[in-house]
Amino acid sequence: MASPMTSNEKSDTGQSVTPASSPKSASFWLVIISLCLIALTASLDGSIIAIALPHISSTLYIGDKYVEVANCFVFAQTVVQPGIAQLCDIFGRRWPMIISVTIFALGSGIAGGANGTATMIAGRTVQGLGSGGIMLLVELIVCDMVPLRERGKYLGIVLSTAAMGSILGPVVGGAIADRAWRWCFFLNLPICGLVLPVMFFLLRIKHIPTPLKDLGVKVDWVGNVIFIGSIVSLLVGLTFGGTVHPWSSWHTIVPIVVGCVGWACFHGYERLIKNANPCVPPHIFYNRTSAAAFYMIFVTSMLLQWVCFFWPVYFLAIRGTTLLQTGVNFMPFMFLLIPGSAVAGIGLSKTGHYRGLHLIGFVLSTLGPGLNTLLGLHTHAGGWAMLQIVDALGRACILPTTLPAILASMPEKDVAAATGVYSFLRSFGYVWGITVPGIIFNNRFGQLSYRISNPVAREALGGGRAYELASGPYVQTLSPGVKSEVLGVYLDVLKAVWFGAMAFGATGLIAVAVEKHVPLRTELETDYGLEGEKREDVEDSSKIVNA
């Protein structure tokens, strides 16, 4: 009998043969379901506070500390991911995942039981630390369980579930906050209780043990300290600018400058110790395909937040819908994003080609916001639903296919480090996805506010408060003439926001032109992996042979 065909060979008929994946065990699927569930919960908690925070602030008398409460979660989630990735190569995946879920549950309990600002900030920070580990590890574990060729399929399932959490967060927060805001956090506890036993008993990921005495050598302590300090400084400037302090204030400029300089010094230090054990190995950026895909996940994450934060402004301010109805109106995006990501992942597994999916994704991600500029006061429901669908399909083509593209040119030993950078850039993109459109929105509103004839309304909506008041009853209670003027300004401001998203989406097309096709490995050659699963070639498992 002839040997099995490789992924590049053809059958006697001249048609390409697509390898079939091996059957998966019940343990495998229980782990995947648990990863989906905890990813949904962690991402949900990252955005749930967007709507619930005003009510929480008034209940706990948080006052001007609301910015710290809103951002401490993101800070903690973002900065720890490269360091956790390095620890995962030392301790494996199982215990870091169990500890991350436990820390997340602990933070949820602290935040839910908070009776003061300091306790709430502490709880949200602990939650962020756990969430950062969770969001990294769900992808890393998937990469350890299946060959590169199959990863798009399973990453599509997990990442689309996580994206659903980000989208549902504000809606769930709005629904819960008025009745019992503490359940915005307590809701995580029973879910963590379901996930932890599965992780403990079934997540048996193999790894090579490292003696504790080698921790001082194996962990890049100096690099992690520089990285965390630099990114925190940069995030402080980005998130406090335009809210707590003006963008021209030294309170904003100094942290941004210090963060950028520190980040550059970090990469210089990593290059200096490249032959030791850097937490972010410089060589993962050296090939153009990985570098392009790193940028793709950053800009895609940014645009995902961009869309999730400003579609609701259209419904709340322009259409005057309630929070619940706004969530319902945004469902076309959510329902197309999830199955679309799964289909894109399956397509990648079948064909092994990611560039075409990236091209389609960024064309639609550019076209979608451009078409959003057509939204008017009385756009038909079918019209705005179709516009959401265009954008959702674009995101769906990119989200599950960037990590396989990053890993295609790297050996399996770099999977943890590359996934850590990937997760960091995704979380970092979320911050920019709030900051950049917020700047555009506020600046453009300030430029057009002269069109509002009522000085009281103009003053109330000025100073960056137009976004805040969009979700309340203020706009809808204005007199008809003034309301018409305000809505006209909102529409034109949103056009500027959509044009900005369109411009960033177009930069993704440049990244697609830069990357090149690298065949995706069909073998799982790793020191990690689910115990009990066979490590065999995908094509061997499907018993495809020459005629």
**Ramachandran category for residue 464: left, alpha or beta (phi over 0 → left; psi -120 to 50 → alpha):** left
Has residue 15 got a pLDDT over 60? no
The amino acid at residue 45 is D
**Which tokens in the block code for residue 202?**
């079934």
Say what the pLDDT of residue 525 is. Answer: 61
Buried b (16+ CB within 10 A) or exposed e, 14-53: eeebebebbebeebbeebbbbbbbbbbbbbbbbbbbbbbb
Cα 394 to Cα 397: distance, rounded to the nearest angstrom? 5
The larger pLDDT score, comparing residue 361 to residue 13, is at 361
Q: What is the pLDDT of residues 453-497, one digit of tens each?
A: 999 999 888 877 787 777 667 888 889 999 999 999 999 999 999
Say what the pLDDT of residue 389 is. Answer: 93
Residues 6+ apart with CB under 8 A from 386: 332
Say what the pLDDT of residue 78 is. Answer: 87
Stated length of the chain: 547
Cα 174 to Cα 159: distance, rounded to the nearest angstrom? 24
The larger pLDDT score, comparing residue 421 to residue 334, is at 421
The larger pLDDT score, comparing residue 56 to residue 193, is at 193
Model confidence at 501, pLDDT cuts 50, 70, 90, reads very high
Has residue 70 got a pLDDT over 80? no
Q: What is the pLDDT of residues 126-161, one digit of tens each?
A: 999 999 999 899 988 988 888 888 887 888 788 778
SS3 state of residue 104: helix
Percent of the chain exceeding pLDDT 90 equals: 37
Has residue 9 got a pLDDT over 60? no
* Lowest mean pLDDT, pick from 52-61, 216-225, 390-399: 52-61
Has residue 12 got a pLDDT over 50? no
Cα 3 to Cα 1: distance, rounded to the nearest angstrom? 7
Cα 255 to Cα 238: distance, rounded to the nearest angstrom? 9
The larger pLDDT score, comparing residue 31 to residue 166, is at 31
The label of the residue with tokens 């091209």 reads: 359
Say what the pLDDT of residue 341 is. Answer: 85
SS3 state of residue 241: strand
Cα 536 to Cα 524: distance, rounded to the nearest angstrom? 7
Say what the pLDDT of residue 340 is. Answer: 87
Distance of CA 42 to the CA centre of its chain: 11
Say what the pLDDT of residue 289 is. Answer: 92
**Which tokens in the block code for residue 404?**
């396989």
| Average pLDDT of the segment spanning 4-26 | 48
Domain boundaries of the chain, sorted by first residue = 26-206+279-530, 220-278
Model confidence at 271, pLDDT cuts 50, 70, 90, reads very high
Residues 6+ apart with CB under 8 A from 436: 302, 306, 500, 504
Has residue 536 got a pLDDT over 60? no
Count CA atoms within 13 Å of residue 247 on its CB side: 11
Whole-Å CA distances, 63 to 54, 66, 68, 184: 10, 6, 11, 20
Give, for 501, the enclosing helix (H) or strand (E). Answer: helix 480-514
Q: Are 184 and 176 in contact (CB under 8 A)?
A: yes
Has residue 1 got a pLDDT over 50? no
Q: Are 533 and 25 in contact (CB under 8 A)?
A: yes
Say what the pLDDT of residue 363 is. Answer: 96
Model confidence at 541, pLDDT cuts 50, 70, 90, reads very low
Mean pLDDT for the chain?
Answer: 83
Say what the pLDDT of residue 290 is. Answer: 92
Of the candidate CATH numbers 1.20.1250.20, 3.30.200.20, 3.40.50.620, 3.40.630.10, the domain formed by 26-206+279-530 belongs to 1.20.1250.20
Has residue 18 got a pLDDT over 60? no
* Lowest mean pLDDT, pick from 205-214, 216-225, 268-277, 418-427: 205-214
The four Cα atoms 103, 107, 110, 115 give a dihedral, to 10 degrees, of 160
The larger pLDDT score, comparing residue 227 to residue 342, is at 227
The label of the residue with tokens 């302090």 reads: 245
Say what the pLDDT of residue 54 is. Answer: 66
Say what the pLDDT of residue 5 is. Answer: 39
SS3 state of residue 199: helix
The larger pLDDT score, comparing residue 3 to residue 365, is at 365
Has residue 518 got a pLDDT over 60? yes
Say what the pLDDT of residue 443 is. Answer: 86
Helix 26-47 and helix 148-180, axial crossing angle in degrees, nearest 10: 50
Model confidence at 107, pLDDT cuts 50, 70, 90, reads very high
Whole-Å CA distances, 142 to 24, 149, 152: 13, 12, 10
* Lowest mean pLDDT, pick from 203-212, 269-278, 514-523: 203-212
Q: Is-above-0.75 flag for pTM?
A: yes
Count CA atoms within 13 Å of residue 217 on its CB side: 7
